[in-house]
Amino acid sequence: MARPPRSTAAAQTPARVDASPAAEAAAPRTRTGALDRAVQILDALQDAGKPATAYEIAHRVNAPLSTVYSIINDMVEKNLLSRAADGAIWLGSRLYGYGLAYASSLDYLAVANEEMQRLSAEVEETVQVCGLEEGMMVVLQMAEGPGHFRVTSRVGSRVPVNWTASGRLLAGHLPAAECTAFFRQYAQPSPTGRAETRPDVLARNARQALDERLSIQIGESDASVACLAAPVMDRSGACVFTISIVMPEAKAEQGTERYAQAVQSVAARIETRLGWR
């Protein structure tokens, strides 16, 4: 939120300005708090996938309604959020422009999208490009397969890192202690109860998956879904993003070798095209 301009009268009466170290330290925290709330509001709407009232948003971000309402008003005024006639809040048109500008600056996503489309046509399954965002795996791009099988994780969806094959790869390059601490902070139980949650085990599995350039999960987050992911790594060895094949669990149980080779081959080709290999 922008600060209102200081009045001339205020500027001419320095005695009214508290210049103590405590006051100077408090101001940044106030501004940061408002920014954090704005991000929480955007995240809550993205996670919900539909408009919500200010009351619902305040409940989701666990913040006072008055605070959330004030920030929402400011964001609506700046077209970062939009308000429908019934008062429901949704993402604003200004964000679309930011998203386009951001996407156009990332050459690797253009390359990844091309290879993703090619892989989806080859294996006739849904293919996703995934990244890491604040301890969550986020779907950056997606090409749906031609069959009737549909996945619930759409573009923009965020999933706990320990639920997915991609999540393990995205953290696998971290030093052992840091990787363990990462999973200790972000791992969550999955709806099926089959996702690993022990930080030390997750860290070992993540390192092994990255070394093998392949991660497979079957039924950990969804009882009917399997996923095979390969890392796309930069020259430093960090996993920048992943490319993955999402398919029915029953089909994966019949054999994954063909799909594993295909997704690893595409990941390697992306690295080569980007000059990372």
| φ, ψ at 230 (rounded to 5°) | -125, 145
CATH topology classification for 8-95: Arc Repressor Mutant, subunit A (1.10.10)
Q: Which residues pair with 127 in a beta bridge?
A: 143, 245
| pTM, rounded to two decimals | 0.63
Residue 104 has pLDDT above 80, yes or no: no
User: For residue 170, what are the CA distances in angstroms to 39, 214, 263?
Assistant: 23, 11, 16
Partners of residue 49 on adjacent β-strands: none
- Which residue has tokens 């709806």? 191
- pLDDT of 109: 85
How far apart CA 151 and CA 206 sit, in angstroms, is: 24
Q: Where in the chain is the domain with CATH 3.30.450.40?
A: 106-273
Which residues, including other chains, have CB under 8 Å from residue 133's CB and lie 6 or more apart? Answer: 158
Q: Which residues of 55-74 are buried (b: 16+ CB within 10 A; e: fewer)?
A: ebbbebbebeeeebbebbee
Alpha carbons 115 and 110: distance in angstroms, whole number: 9
| 254-to-218, 249, 257, 259 alpha-carbon distances in Å | 12, 9, 10, 11
- 1-19 tens-digit pLDDT: 344 443 333 333 333 334 3
Residues shown for the chain: 277
Query: 190, 244 in Cβ contact below 8 A?
Result: no
Instruction: Look over the chain and give the mean of its residue pLDDT values, rounded to a whole number.
Output: 84
Fold of 106-273: Beta-Lactamase (3.30.450)
Per-residue pLDDT band for 275 (boundaries 50, 70, 90) equals confident
* CATH 1.10.10.10 segments of the chain: 8-95
| Percent of the chain with pLDDT strictly greater than 90 | 58
